[in-house]
A and B are shown apart, each in its own frame.
Chain A
Amino acid sequence: MNKITDDDLTLLYYGEHDDPQLARTVAGSERLSARYDALCSELQLADAYLPPQRDGDYGIEVWQKISPRLGEKQPGTMVRLKSWLVSLTKPRFSLAGAFSLVLVVALAFMLGRNGGQEIVNSPGETPDGSAVTLAGIDSKRLLNQSVSGHLEQVNLVLTQFANSDETSANETTYAIDMLVANRLYRQAASARGERKLAAFLADLEPLLIELAYGAQSGSPATRERMQQEVREGLLFRVRIMNKEVNKPEISA
């Protein structure tokens, strides 16, 4: 057997040693036991390093001191986006929400049509190599910007989903909106020849469908599985794709 060092005994003391036999080896050897006992006695003295006690209200005291300073926090983009999404569910803004959806539909339709023409001629560019424009607008840029906004909202909805225990009515509503928008953007991307983007949006769709129509009736285990899927890969992919569409050019 290899020589047992003090570092091995330290790991044993803290329950971190990889070798399950070590404890038995130490117990079976008088010399090793003596070394181990000495280590234990010395480390146990460290327990005397006791902090001053705080009374039971210490947490309240901390809160009272910090709460005026929490107001200094500027809400991040995610929080603002969330507020906006929440506002869409309130009756006074429901019309604005519906209008946003109409805009998405109209935009996707325009981009899809325009993209279809480009595929017949020369994908992505006019014959002279310049970006295709639609009534003076760079349609590719418009698609990317719109998809970027969509992905930010998807990111927000998925983050919220990954962090909550129960399905809320809001979550379902957002997911339905996201699903509708996602399909339209997928079609627009596909029609424009943006194959990578279209494939990514297609990958996103099954989860949005589950969120929109299946999450409420699903079991906790199903929800946990979906949350794991979101946390372990999908959120990351959404963020990466969002970065890509924000680049000046995105390869199809």
Chain B
Amino acid sequence: MIQTEQKIIGKAISGDRSAFRELVLEHSHAMFRLAWRLTSDEVAAEDIVQEAFIKAWRNIGRFRMESSFKSWLHRITVNTAMDHLRKHARRKQFETEEPEWESSGQQGVTADTGTQIDIRKQTQTAMMNLSDAERTALLLKHYEGHSIDEIARIMEITTGACKQNIFRAVKKMRIALSPLVAT
């Protein structure tokens, strides 16, 4: 019998570790993608995913079933990633580091041409030049497909502030990426 996620969450809330394991298996990939996009750092993203799941386990009793579990996990992931960025001043390091795709063969898109590498490099640079709030809001909208209301809840800001973060992020991204459109 396939258990619904709600049922599994209910079991995890009551302390069932095997139910929580199911949730970890289900959400790890998505949380890694989000953590990586927030930090642009593979090792940090793995640490954030683990830390976020441990926080989720410790606080799962506070999860309210009427809200989305995915959103709740995203909120923990975002907060954990922000803590990480604050601690490690990631953005400063980013400016001096080689982009990760140049050393990794496990990319989603094959970086086989100079143009593709340029686009990816520019996109990554543009993303990391956004403020944390702008980047978070844009990522949750563009890649995760959350509604603005959900993003506001995840980031614990008003919907108006959320929209403004998205608008600013889009403007900055367009300025950074528009020269690439013609290429």
Contacts and interface: CB of A to CB of B under 8 A. Distances in A.
B17 interface: yes
Interface of B: 4, 6-7, 9-10, 13-15, 17, 20-21, 24-29, 32-33, 36-37, 42, 45, 49-50, 53-54, 57-58, 61, 64-66, 100-101, 104, 106-109, 116, 119-120, 122-124, 127, 138, 141-143, 147-148, 163, 166-167, 170-171, 173-174, 177-178, 180-181
B65 A162 contact: yes
Interface string A57-98: 011101101110110010110110011000000000000000
A48 interface: yes
A52 B42 contact: yes
Interface residues of chain A: helix, strand, loop or mixed (majority): helix
Interface in A177-227: none
Contact of A70 (B54, B120, B177): B54
Interface stretch (A36-44, A116-124, A237-245): A36-44
Contact of B32 (A48, A54, A66): A54
18 contacts: A6-B167, A10-B166, A38-B181, A48-B109, A48-B120, A51-B33, A52-B107, A53-B108, A59-B29, A62-B28, A62-B53, A66-B24, A70-B57, A78-B61, A163-B9, A163-B65, A165-B7, A231-B65
B25 A46 contact: no
Given A52-B104, A163-B6, A79 B14 contact: yes
Given A42-B174, A52-B106, A78-B61, A58 B50 contact: no
A53 B42 CA distance: 10
A85 to B, nearest CB: 11
Given A50-B107, A59-B29, A65-B50, A43 B100 contact: no
Contact of A45 (B13, B21, B29, B123): B123
A18 B99 CA distance: 39
A208 B6 CA distance: 23
Contacts of A51: 32-33, 36-37, 45, 108
Contacts of B181: 38, 41-42, 45
Interface residues of chain B: helix, strand, loop or mixed (majority): helix
Contacts of B64: 231
A183 B116 CA distance: 72
A78 B58 CA distance: 12
Contacts of B29: 54, 58-59
B123 to A, nearest CB: 4
A230 B70 CA distance: 23
Contact of A59 (B24, B45, B122, B180): B24
Contacts of B27: 59
Contacts of B119: 45, 48
Given A63-B21, A63-B25, A70-B20, A42 B32 contact: no
Nearest to B149: A16
Contact of B141 (A14, A70, A79, A160): A14
Given A51-B108, A82-B14, A73 B100 contact: no
B156 to A, nearest CB: 19
A163 B20 CA distance: 15
A14, A82, A160, A163: most-surrounded residue (chain B CB, <10 A): A163
A199 to B, nearest CB: 27
Given A42-B173, A66-B53, A52 B100 contact: yes
Interface in A136-165: 159-160, 162-165
